[in-house]
Structure 1
Amino acid sequence: MNFYPVRAIYMAEIARVRRTLLQSIVSPIISTSLYFVVFGAAIGSRIDQVEGVSYGAFIVPGLIMLMLLTQSVSNASFGIFFPRFSGSIYELLSAPISYLEIVIGYVGAAATRSIVLGLIILATANFFVPLHIEHPVWMVLFLVLTAVTFSMLGFIIGIWADGFEKLQLVPLLVITPLTFLGGSFYSIDMLPPFWQGVTLLNPVVYLVSGFRWSFYGVGDVSIVASVVVIALFLTLCLATVAWIFRTGYRLKP
Structure 2
Amino acid sequence: MNGPAIWAIYKYEMFRFFRTLMESLASPVISTSLYFVVFGAAIGSRIEQVEGVSYGAFIVPGLIMLSVMTQSISNASFGIYFPKFIGTIFEMLSAPINFLEIVIGYVGAAATKSLIIGVVILITAFFFVELRIAHPFAMLLFLVLTCLSFSLFGFIIGIWAENFQQLQLIPLLVITPLVFLGGSFYSISMLPPTWQVVSLFNPIVYLMSGFRWSFFGAADVGVGWSLLAIAGFTALCLGVIWWIFKTGYRIKS
Query: What is residue 125 of structure 2 aligned with on the other side?
Result: 125
SS in 2 for 1:168: helix
Q: Give the superposition deviation at 1:131.
A: 1.1
TM-score by length of 1: 0.99
Quick one: which amino acid aligns to residue 207 of structure 2?
Answer: L
Quick one: which amino acid aligns to residue 51 of structure 2?
Answer: E
Counterparts of 1:3-152 in structure 2, within 5 Å, are 3-152=3-152
SS in 2 for 1:252: coil
Quick one: which amino acid aligns to residue 218 of structure 1?
Answer: A
Quick one: which amino acid aligns to residue 130 of structure 1?
Answer: E
Quick one: which amino acid aligns to residue 134 of structure 1?
Answer: A
What are the superposed Cα offsets for residues 91-127 of structure 1, whole Å, 9 maximum, x if unpaired? 0110111111000000000000000100000000000
Separation in 2 of the partners of 1:213 and 1:129? 18
Residue 219 (str. 1) matches residue 219 (str. 2): yes
Separation in 2 of the partners of 1:88 and 1:147? 26
Q: Comparing 97-106 with 16-25, which one deviates more in the overlay? A: 16-25
Separation in 2 of the partners of 1:190 and 1:234? 30
Separation in 1 of the partners of 2:225 and 2:160? 30
What are the superposed Cα offsets for residues 142-179 of structure 1, whole Å, 9 maximum, x if unpaired? 00000000000000000000000000001111111100
5+ residue gaps, structure 2, are none
SS in 1 for 2:149: helix
What are the superposed Cα offsets for residues 191-240 of structure 1, whole Å, 9 maximum, x if unpaired? 00111111110000011100000001001111011011111000000100
Separation in 2 of the partners of 1:139 and 1:41? 25
SS in 2 for 1:249: coil
TM-score by length of 2: 0.99
Q: Give the superposition deviation at 1:2.
A: 1.4
How many corresponding residue pairs? 253
Q: Give the superposition deviation at 1:19.
A: 2.0
SS in 2 for 1:198: helix
Quick one: which amino acid aligns to residue 83 of structure 2?
Answer: P
5+ residue gaps, structure 1, are none
